[in-house]
Amino acid sequence: MHRIVVLDAISIPKAFPLPRPSFEHEWVSYETTKPEEIVPRAKDATIVVTNKCKLTSQVLSQLPKLQFIAELATGFNNIDVAFCKEKGIGVATIQGYSTKSVAEHTLTMMLMLSRNSLITRKAMEDGIWVNANCFCQLPAPIVDLDGKTVAIIGNGAIGSRIGKLCEAFGMKVLKVEHKGESNIREGYCEFDKAILEADFISVNCPLNDKTNNLITAREFGMMKKSCYIINNARGGVVNEQDLVNALLSEEIAGAAGDVASTEPLTSDHPFSKCLKMDNFILTPHQAWMSDACLTELVKQFGENLEAFNQGKRVRRVD
């Protein structure tokens, strides 16, 4: 009989419960699990379910009965997949479920920044319209997306979807080549050239050794002062202190993101200095959490468990 241990059930809203598998099992669920609690809680597990708990080789080597990891996300940088391959531990993720939602979240941020929605909202709260002597008011300039250039870093499913939405707004879309790459693929734009030309930059690539600190003070110094950057990938892709410095020094026009290198956000995080700025939008890692996304997530999770039990490889990354 399989022993299934859910390490961080709190990441999935209770309105979308994880389905129990049809095969015989014991189910143990924890709302949250601290790093030092993973081994004691999962030492007898044959299946571990997680979203963001870090399953390093050191941790995994202490789980002798583990056969399968069900990741409740698309990204799996929290799992040492190389170790899993070596030890024959299966790893399956949730795939393609949040593409449309994250893309829409990105476009929402672009529109809010370009149309200065935060400034207008505050002005409305302060009575700019009810106390006006003219039918129209313009608390801050409005920039149209039409005719602007967006550089998309990471052109997988989400990045490609963002590109299509931007094209629908009349934007010029640049698919950005890997940083430092001299052989430019057809249809792509050299990294530095894209950074220089962009009015908007959308970061959508996975976090790994090559993309960690991909955007730093060097890149911010190259950007137009009118440029906006949106990071809905992973916090570490954009150097967060450098981003804050660029905002405070007005090197760029604004920024937005749905991620941070430390989640939940800590009070001493660099972003804490910008949370009340009118040209900075930060949402709490929610772009993937639309009703449609969560419905699809729990469906895929159930399929992944059943496939593993049947010896089938479904959405496997090991």
Residues labelled as active-site residues: 234, 263, 285
φ, ψ of residue 309 in degrees (nearest 5): -65, -30
Q: How far apart are CA 243 and CA 240, in angstroms?
A: 5
